[in-house]
Structure 1
Amino acid sequence: MRFRTRLTTLASVILAATTAGAFAQEAPKPAARPGIDSPELSKLGTYPVGVADVEFVQPGQADLRVDAPNASRIDRRVPLKIWYPAATTGHGISYRTALSGETGVDVPFEVPGIATAGSTAAKGRFPLVVLAHGYGNTPEVLSWLGENLASKGYVVVTPAFRDPPISLRTAAARAGPIARRPLDIAFVTGEAQRRARAGEGIFASADAARTALIGYSMGGYGVLTAAGAPLNPALADMTRGVLAPYAAGGPKAAELKVTGLKAVVALSPANRFGDAPIWSGDGLAAITTPTLYIVGGQDHVVGYPAVRALFDQESNAQRYLLTFKEAGHSIGLIGAPPAMRHSFWDLDWFEDAVWRKDRLLPIETHFITAFLDRYVKDDMAKGAYLDGLVVDSDTGTWPGAPAGRYTGYSPGAPAATVWKGFQPSRATGMLFEAKPAQ
């Protein structure tokens, strides 16, 4: 009897250890698929998602690689990952990519996705979104947003800018990204619009007249510039003269401004390089396109007060500011894959010190969806998710809400001041502000 009891106990221990190991080794889930405590509009849309890889080539561009002469010219090759509404459901893809490690050597990893490579595009014409990553990032780490928006009826074009390793903290290494972000965004957007109008390939399903720009960090600088903010001529010296003709007052300044633009989203946007402000003249006041800013209240990379200043300065456009209290700069990327959890440098690309990533990303998706649907698709009903919200989410109330762990979404005003679309216990730790155009 005692022997049998010992066997039973041993079996229980083995089972418990095996179960714990299975949970510990559980494969990461696609970040485009929100969790059960996510706000309403973060849910996937009704379309299956396809993904395609395309390359654009822009001839005769200055070669700003560290080891290249200033005067050399090359054909600038820009790989693109395109997420789009598909006609049929398939098997989710596993993306393979890499980010620069602390020594400058790339660290490879995989990202699970929901898209199917090469799927037939759904019938119809869908708004065009150009999604620009940050310094040293890749399109795959923005799959959480690209795939989610594609499921909701957007064609999302995400360039791979191929920056030098971020560990090269030199002026020469930074010259390329500073110069190329606005140039590449303007070129990629214009070329995607041209192919959309011509009905070419996967771009035939995109509507060039309904274009939105989204950028994170360095990409945020790029999309605000492409929306019309005039560049500071001081950036010419930082870019070996490449941006001189495109700066305020330059002969090519107008070439950076994207046409057909309906909305701009800037996540943790870069706003100055060293002591030099990025924009001059009217600055952000030159932008007339509705803009959504998203930033962490403890972002010490671009500076929270500086992003708030951009929000205030953009006086000629309807704009919104979503602040995650206590969050830092890493709000724009997926959660850290297993291969990026072995050193602080690798982990710090992805993870915030305070916020869970599976909370941050769905909240961002919720507001980006409401914003794009409202201003790109003209879905006026989505304005209820943006306008008239109490500024501090912590102060929201919902009289008569069911008690306990209620999972329903707040109906918003006038029944509740808990932010519309949020579960009552989950609208905490944030600020949301809106200002109209003058």
Structure 2
Amino acid sequence: MTSVSYTFSRDGRKLRTVVWYPKVAGRYPLVLWSHGLHGSPEVYAEIIQKIAVAGFVVAAPAYPGTNDKANPFDGNDVANQPADASAVISEVLKLDAQAGSPLAGKIDTARVGAAGHSAGGYTTAGLLSGKTRDARLKGAVIVSGGALGGKFSGASTPVLFVHGDADATVAYSNGKSLYDSCVWPKGFLTLLGGDHSAALTGKTPAATAVSKTVLDFLRYSLYGDTAAKSRLRGEATVSGVAKYEGNL
């Protein structure tokens, strides 16, 4: 697994993007990872690298209004991030066919997913909703997020929700209400007593449940891996730590 950095642009909005990808030859699905407020691609390197090692190209943009170096910082700019994310997806997919690119021949351009945490979870929801729906998405993971851009729309797309029931930053009810309204194949991983972000890092039982469940879901939704799908419920269920519900 290695990484490369690019700077893309959408309507004058600079989008520094780090792309992690497997070193082994082959074509891999693309996952767009969106950071939370005051975040960056590097802040989420631990979970992103786990995804990449599992057989994915992961593109992580630094959103211009909400990243850790944004000046001025503007939390309301999250509304512009789904369109940014779609633009990054388009630019990264082009690199698969670009001679001399480190990503040439490495991306399965028909298999695209999205994931994100906090404001990045909202951004991911926006990619599934209303005017900012990205029809290329085959699966999505919303961690500690909620609705953005209205109801989910377009073709049925599997969605995994991850949320701590003691989240003091984004209420558990925000994620749960979006899950409840979703009529697509879906799963919800509840972290019992879980806060906003701790389970994205480290080797705690909660962090292990999150990483295994996210990887199982991405393998299922982007690779059609039925073995991963069959593992998902068991790996998402840890007594006193995590519980799972859904129809995946």
- In the superposition, the TM-score normalised over structure 2's length comes to 0.88
Q: Secondary structure, in 3 states, of the residue corresponding to 2:243?
A: strand
Which shifted more, 135-144 or 285-294? 285-294
Match of 1:314 in 2: 182
Considering fraction of residues, name the structure with more strand: 2
Determine the C-alpha separation between the residues in 1 that align with 2:223 and 2:62: 27
Mark the CA change 1:427 to 1:201 in structure 2 (over 3 Å): closer, same or farther: farther
The 5 Å alignment of 1:359-438 reads 359-386=205-232, 389=233, 419=234, 427-435=239-247
1:69-94 Cα offsets, whole Å, 9 max, x none, are xxxxxx221111111101xxxxxxxx
Match of 1:214 in 2: 115
Question: Post-superposition shift, 1:373?
Answer: 0.9
Determine the C-alpha separation between the residues in 2 that align with 1:132 and 1:261: 14
Match of 1:146 in 2: 48
Mark the runs of 5 or more structure 1 residues left unpaired by the alignment. 1-48, 62-74, 87-121, 231-252, 272-277, 336-356, 390-418
Question: Post-superposition shift, 1:180?
Answer: 2.5
CA contact (8 A) 1:193 1:208 kept: yes
Q: Secondary structure, in 3 states, of the residue corresponding to 1:203?
A: coil
CA contact (8 A) 1:136 1:163 kept: no
Choose 1 or 2 for highest CA Rg. 1
Mark the CA change 1:199 to 1:209 in structure 2 (over 3 Å): closer, same or farther: farther
Mark the CA change 1:298 to 1:421 in structure 2 (over 3 Å): closer, same or farther: closer
Q: Secondary structure, in 3 states, of the residue corresponding to 1:210?
A: strand
Q: Is 2:133 aligned against 1:225?
A: no
Determine the C-alpha separation between the residues in 2 that align with 1:287 and 1:153: 25
The number of equivalent residue pairs is 245
Q: Is 2:141 aligned against 1:265?
A: yes
Mark the CA change 1:223 to 1:197 in structure 2 (over 3 Å): closer, same or farther: farther
Q: What percent of counterpart residues are identical?
A: 25
Letter paired with 1:223 = T
Determine the C-alpha separation between the residues in 1 that align with 2:235 and 2:204: 20
Give RMSD over aligned pairs: 2.6
- In the superposition, the TM-score normalised over structure 1's length comes to 0.52
Mark the runs of 5 or more structure 2 residues left unpaired by the alignment. none
Match of 1:298 in 2: 166
1:45-96 Cα offsets, whole Å, 9 max, x none, are xxxx1111111122xx3xxxxxxxxxxxxx221111111101xxxxxxxxxx
1:89-138 Cα offsets, whole Å, 9 max, x none, are xxxxxxxxxxxxxxxxxxxxxxxxxxxxxxxxx21111111111111111
Question: Post-superposition shift, 1:197?
Answer: 4.5
Mark the CA change 1:332 to 1:196 in structure 2 (over 3 Å): closer, same or farther: farther
Q: Is 2:41 aligned against 1:52?
A: no
1:235-291 Cα offsets, whole Å, 9 max, x none, are xxxxxxxxxxxxxxxxxx3xx3324321100001143xxxxxx443xx136562100
CA contact (8 A) 2:162 2:189 kept: yes
Determine the C-alpha separation between the residues in 2 that align with 1:225 and 1:200: 33
